[in-house]
Amino acid sequence: MLKTKKILVTGGAGFLGSHLCEQLLKSEHEVLCVDNYFTGNKANILHLLDNPRFELMRHDVTFPLYVEVDEIYNLACPASPIHYQHDPVQTTKTSVHGAINMLGLAKRVGAKILQASTSEVYGDPSMHPQREDYWGNVNPIGVRSCYDEGKRCAETLFFDYHRQHSLRIKIMRIFNTYGPRMHPQDGRVVSNFIVQALKGEPITIYGDGSQTRSFCFVDDLVKGMISLMGSADEFVGPVNIGNPNEFTIKQLAEVIIDQTGSKSELVFNPLPSDDPKQRRPDISLANSELNWFPQIELEEGVSKTIEYFRKIV
């Protein structure tokens, strides 16, 4: 019989966090959702508020938190360029101070803790696809560095707590993820294209559209996250969680135009600074250690995401 755990999810009112909270509740766990609503939205978790095993707390992880929990999923951090560049100092603080505070909490209460890291730790990669043993090609002083280097430093802190204090840690590197509850103004390519297509506006492509991304549907991502947390203590990661099927940005735009029936035209603008040309995970480690494979193809996932955005746009 599954043991009920008390589980803390930081950033729990965000896009990924709300889906994670929902899935943990389905597994009969008690969930403490913590968010400061910088990018999270209470609407994402309104349907969970009546559940007696769900608790919501407004809190900023850059300040210490004193609670009793068995596991911690540390997801708190703005994850889209528009949001993390809005207040870059706070973004770095959220990654670094947030990691210190959550690691300190895990150490005090003996909790297992998972860090939601990112494929951005690889920067603009010279290895393709990206494996976990690749150290990355990151600009430490660019406009995206607050996010990239903040997440890299958080990984360092997690491993140092693991080595120095024998803390039970898990690190996952999340690749492009999409699905219902994405913020319509988060500036990410899937939400941007869907909103523009539904409004009949020109679809804005940065560069010539030949840069590639791999898109993982949120349900697959959450399953990978929970599998990692439940894996043997000896396996700490980092492990890539993402969909290895690679598409150009132009191909994504064409899929969305087709599925929305939009008459939007493609418009090409200059590529932003430090925007990676390629992004595709090598998920061999997730396959072998977690028996995890993404199940939902782009066309199916985009269809579910469009259905969500039709209701809110």
Residues forming the active site: 147
DSSP string of 64-80? ------SEEEE--S--S
Amino acid at 135: W
Q: Which position has the token pair 């993390």?
A: 84
Q: How far is CA 224 from the centre of its chain?
A: 12
Could you tell me if 265 and 221 are in contact, meaning their C-beta atoms sit under 8 angstroms apart? no
Burial of 126 per CB tally in 10 Å (0-12, 13-18, 19+)? exposed
Q: Which residues of 130-158 are buried (b: 16+ CB within 10 A; e: fewer)?
A: bebebebebeeeeebbbbbbbbbbbbebb
In the 8-state DSSP scheme, what is residue 120? G
Secondary structure element (H or E) that encloses residue 20, with its range = helix 15-26
The whole-angstrom separation of Cα 293 and Cα 216 is 10
Cα gap 133→136, rounded to integer Å:
9
List the structure tokens of 259.
């599925």
The amino acid present at 133, given as its one-letter code, is D
Angstrom distance (rounded) from CA 125 to CA 138:
8
Q: Output the CA–CA distances (angstroms, integers) from residue 78 to 67, 75, 188, in the order listed.
A: 23, 9, 12
Residues 6+ apart with CB under 8 A from 191: 178, 182, 183, 184, 185, 309
Q: Is the separation of the CB atoms in 56 and 98 below 8 Å?
A: no
Residues 6+ apart with CB under 8 A from 233: 112, 168
CA distance 96 to 295: 33
